[in-house]
Chain A
């Protein structure tokens, strides 16, 4: 149960650090501004600076770099493949030429920048999910969406939906896993090439899942109704998130960085 929770909902590592204790809204804004600055503008110095920032922040958050390394494992080939393509297909002064393939200075530069950019974006996105509990993350997303309620959008319902899905995701994942295993134990072969048996095997997971989802939904509706919930009704909140001084400093800093990269 524990392991599924961890591997499914991002990879939250509940340590105690400055980064962990930052306001999640701040973290969200920072991450978004860092990523968008990387997408808008990419020169070599900026990327090197960002690499330093990434390493520093991981160090502050006490997250071992092996975590980063392990999560790159599945996509390392995509990165290598795309850099090779850029290496040889970018037009420019050829350093080395093999038939129609030319290795160019521009190619080296471009493939380095592009792969670093990919690594950085993943690194920073990982960071926010590593240091923020899923609950707080959803809370932050909802609160940043709040302005849209002025436009008449049902932001409250949307947030509740988001947090309920987050609540039930691990439960349902666990259940799917158990049902899949029990059908495997009855000889179901999900890698079969025969269309008919494949369809039948998938049905053997989907029907029990739907059936239990209906029961769950029914139970949940009762549990919420018993506790006085009514759609659209006003609610008070136990914890309203507030900004403190450090939060403010960081948000201003990241906005400045964003502006500077934009102007560079």
Chain B
């Protein structure tokens, strides 16, 4: 099962002089239950790739197989969308329900669940994203604050309990506290549903906080597949990727540049503090 793509190429406006190759020969695979990051800057093709996972776009050439089924025109899309949930960038723009409950229930009802299951799963999802379900269910989603809207939109997808969840920059534009909260929610979701998380982002630190493995895209081409932490520690190519520079490694590298003998193969804050401490201990010794 899982997701696997072979030589996936996507060309917009195929056959016209203004065609654009958005993805060029991408191959990767995601195992069940994995946290998988798609990392890249603006225009790298990461959002285009994400839309292939639940059949919103089809490959121009090559193939993508999700849960053992090849995603191509004519495939049973309802079934695919029962398995794959997708959260777009700024998902709060999709809200339309008269009440929070109605909005979150939209997906479940489309997929034909009984009202009893709908009720239970909506309340569970609202609870999961950090609301008191009974307090929020009858409120108008359009009148909530930005962060709350985002949570409702996430709940609207999570309520479907998909075994694969694709998220396109789900926490961008939020304040630090909401970011932290939502990342915890995602981890929780992944654990309880044993779900694959496909996490699209331009920030390595965000990617590492929830994914073990991933791919790096640049201008539609696959640059790297595997352990992301390894990639960022081993080389400095990320400087040319138009992605957010990793803060802690940046500090370590600058310290080294300025002449401190420090091990710069680190990525987390804890590692950085430890390495700095080590340097200072050598003086005392």
Query: Is there any pair of Cβ atoms, one from A and one from B, under 8 angstroms apart in the complex?
Result: yes
The answer to whether B68 has its CB under 8 Å from any CB of chain A is no
Type the 1/0 row for A173-194, where 1 means its CB is closer than 8 Å to any CB of B.
0010011011111111100000
Does A197 contact B93, Cβ atoms closer than 8 Å?
no
CB neighbours of B88 from chain A (8 A): 178, 181-182, 185
The answer to whether B138 has its CB under 8 Å from any CB of chain A is no
- Choose from A67, A70, A182 the contact partner of B94 (Cβ within 8 Å): A182
The answer to whether B273 has its CB under 8 Å from any CB of chain A is no
CB neighbours of A207 from chain B (8 A): 96
The docked-state distance in angstroms from the alpha carbon of A197 to that of B15 is 36
Type the 1/0 row for A203-239, where 1 means its CB is closer than 8 Å to any CB of B.
1111110011000000000000000000000000000
Which of chain B's residues 255-281 have a Cβ closer than 8 Å to chain A?
Answer: none
Does A189 contact B142, Cβ atoms closer than 8 Å?
no
Interface of B is mostly: mixed
CB neighbours of A64 from chain B (8 A): 17
The answer to whether B182 has its CB under 8 Å from any CB of chain A is no
- Choose from B15, B18, B56 the contact partner of A3 (Cβ within 8 Å): B18
The answer to whether A66 has its CB under 8 Å from any CB of chain B is yes
Type the 1/0 row for A1-16, where 1 means its CB is closer than 8 Å to any CB of B.
0110011000101000
CB neighbours of B139 from chain A (8 A): none
- Choose from B12, B17, B110 the contact partner of A186 (Cβ within 8 Å): B110
**Nearest CB in chain B: distance from A6 CB, A:** 5
- Choose from A7, A197, A208 the contact partner of B96 (Cβ within 8 Å): A208
The answer to whether B91 has its CB under 8 Å from any CB of chain A is yes
The answer to whether B54 has its CB under 8 Å from any CB of chain A is yes
Does B160 contact A187, Cβ atoms closer than 8 Å?
yes
**Nearest CB in chain A: distance from B165 CB, A:** 11
Does B81 contact A187, Cβ atoms closer than 8 Å?
yes
CB neighbours of B3 from chain A (8 A): none
**Nearest CB in chain B: distance from A74 CB, A:** 13
Does B56 contact A185, Cβ atoms closer than 8 Å?
yes
Q: Residue of A at shortest CB range from B110?
A: A187
The docked-state distance in angstroms from the alpha carbon of A206 to that of B16 is 31
Which of chain B's residues 39-92 have a Cβ closer than 8 Å to chain A?
Answer: 51, 54, 56, 77-78, 81-82, 84-88, 91
Does B17 contact A182, Cβ atoms closer than 8 Å?
no
The docked-state distance in angstroms from the alpha carbon of A207 to that of B106 is 14
> Footprint of A on B, CB under 8 Å?
12-13, 15-18, 20, 51, 54, 56, 77-78, 81-82, 84-88, 91, 93-96, 106-107, 110-111, 142, 156-157, 160
Which 5 residue pairs spanning A and B have beta carbons closest together? Answer: A187-B110, A186-B107, A207-B96, A185-B86, A3-B12
Q: Sample 5 A-B pairs with CB under 8 A, ordered by A number.
A: A182-B88, A182-B94, A187-B81, A188-B110, A207-B96
